[in-house]
């Protein structure tokens, strides 16, 4: 998710001053940390501790040595402190099989995919999703633990989970933290149909978190589309089928009484992820901001960047051309 309305340095200076004044340690937890964390602006990351969990030993070593494949095309985002664990998260402490797949990003605790992946051809691919991504090439044993055990008493400002089917198990292993509202914002991958045994869907994640007092605020489906047949019509002539995406959840601010420091943290992570109206809501709810600081923040948010204006204009061009030709 990209926010085209990049907050100016004055706004982040206000947040930096307050975070340092109250000695707050912002915590970003990346579960399935392969390739690193690139979701947050540097103004936020430099104030944050990054704690990553990656069960794939090769990918874990790349993270530890800052040699991720992603750095071939992107600049590394620097955090105040980084700690990586060669460990999987689950809803119990145990040792499990970890299945290494043809596509490293599809490696999983969930086992082999079912026959449904034989009917998935990503756009512009001549192979099935299973052939290119989920086909198992090796198996190893990994240690598993609960997030509740590993971060007791900590506040997690942002929890990102991308673990190829085990997302709900991980959230079940964080139940104590969730009940205490010690996890403020969550981004979890979801799927729209089951292609592992015991695979959980978006609705399962939503129901579980809703019962624990979290609100679903955004569905990001910036994923390749697929077709059930190889002989596809051109992408321009097909809407495409969705199979996965990312869901964003936040502590339900309308139902939860939050202390002043959690409100400050929620404002910061909301702005960092581009939820600017939500961030402004938390600023207005906070007792830690002076009137002049609120004015500066609002002034920055009302300024529409040139990049955003050009992006919005570009999106309108296809429909304008289509309507002109149609006439």
Q: What is the mean pLDDT of residues 203-211?
A: 98
| Whole-number pLDDT of residue 87 | 97
Architecture of domain 24-290: 3-Layer(aba) Sandwich (3.40)
CB 110 within 8 A of CB 198: yes
Domain residue ranges in the chain: 24-290
Which sign does the torsion angle of CA 177, 181, 182, 183 carry? Answer: positive
Instruction: Give whole-number Cα distances, 287 to 185, 234, 259, 326, in Å.
Output: 21, 55, 10, 56
Provide the pLDDT for residue 16: 97
Start-to-end C-alpha separation, the chain: 36
Place of tokens 């129901």: 207
Residues 83 and 37: beta-carbon distance below 8 Å: no
Closest CA to 160 of 311, 1, 25: 1
Which tokens hold the place of 209? Answer: 């978190």
How do residues 38-80 score in pLDDT, each as one tens digit?
999 999 999 999 999 999 999 999 999 988 888 887 888 899 9
Please give the pLDDT value at position 2.
47
Helix axis angle for 9-21 and 291-302, nearest 10°, is 140
The pLDDT of 279-291, averaged and rounded, is 97
Distance of CA 62 to the CA centre of its chain: 20
Q: Strand 214-220 to strand 81-85: parallel, antiparallel, or no bridges (unpaired)? A: unpaired
Q: Is the pLDDT of residue 327 over 80?
A: no
Distances, alpha carbon 286 to alpha carbons 140, 156, 213, in Å: 48, 19, 20
Query: What is the average per-residue pLDDT within 11-24?
Result: 96
Q: What pLDDT, on the 0 to 100 scale, is given for residue 266? A: 98
3-class SS of residue 52? strand
Return the C-alpha torsion angle 60, 66, 67, 69, nearest 10.
Answer: 80
Mean of per-residue pLDDT scores for the chain: 92
Quote the pLDDT of residue 28. 98
| Residue-wise pLDDT tens digits, 141-184 | 999 999 999 999 999 999 999 999 999 999 999 999 999 999 99
User: Under a CB-based contact definition with an 8 Å cutoff, are residues 52 and 85 in contact?
Assistant: yes
Instruction: Report the percentage of the chain scoring pLDDT > 70.
Output: 95
Three-state DSSP class for residue 150: helix
Task: Please name the residue ranges forming H helices in the chain.
Answer: 9-21, 42-45, 57-64, 129, 147-150, 167-172, 175-179, 202-211, 260-272, 276-285, 291-302, 306-326
For residue 174, give the H/E element and its range.
none
- Cα separation, 247 vs 219, whole angstroms: 5
Report the pLDDT value the prediction gives residue 1, as an integer from 0 to 100: 45
CB-based contact 164:106 (threshold 8 Å): yes
Q: Is the pTM of this model over 0.75?
A: yes
Q: What is the pLDDT of residue 160?
A: 98
């Amino acid at each position: 998710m990209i926010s085209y309305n990049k907050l100016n340095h004055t706004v982040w200076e206000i947040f930096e001053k307050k975070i340092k004044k109250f000695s707050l340690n912002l915590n970003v937890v990346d579960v399935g940390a392969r390739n690193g964390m690139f979701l947050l602006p540097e103004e936020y990351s430099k104030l944050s501790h990054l704690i990553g969990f990656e069960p794939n030993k090769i990918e874990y070593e790349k993270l530890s040595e800052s040699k991720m494949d992603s750095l071939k095309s992107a600049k590394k985002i620097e955090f105040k402190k980084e700690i990586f664990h060669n460990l999987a998260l689950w809803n119990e402490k145990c040792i499990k099989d970890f299945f290494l797949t043809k596509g490293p990003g599809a490696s999983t605790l969930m086992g082999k995919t079912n026959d449904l992946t034989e009917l998935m051809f990503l756009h512009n691919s001549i192979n099935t999703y299973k052939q290119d991504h989920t086909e198992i090439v090796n198996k190893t044993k990994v240690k598993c633990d609960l997030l509740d055990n590993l971060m007791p008493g900590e506040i997690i400002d942002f929890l990102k989970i991308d673990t190829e089917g085990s997302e709900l198990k991980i959230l079940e292993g964080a139940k104590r933290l969730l009940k205490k509202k010690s996890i403020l914002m969550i981004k979890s991958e979801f799927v729209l149909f089951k292609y592992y045994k015991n695979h959980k869907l978006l609705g399962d994640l939503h129901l579980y978190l809703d019962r624990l007092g979290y609100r679903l605020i955004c569905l990001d489906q910036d994923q390749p589309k697929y077709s059930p047949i190889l002989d596809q019509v051109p992408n321009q002539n097909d809407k495409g089928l969705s199979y996965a995406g990312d869901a964003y959840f936040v502590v339900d601010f309308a139902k939860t009484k939050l202390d002043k420091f959690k409100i400050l943290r929620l404002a910061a992570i909301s702005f960092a992820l581009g939820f600017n109206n939500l961030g402004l809501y938390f600023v207005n709810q906070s007792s830690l901001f002076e009137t002049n600081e609120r004015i500066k923040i609002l002034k920055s948010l009302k300024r529409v960047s040139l990049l955003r204006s050009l992006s919005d204009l570009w999106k309108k061009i296809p429909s304008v051309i289509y309507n002109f030709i149609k006439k």
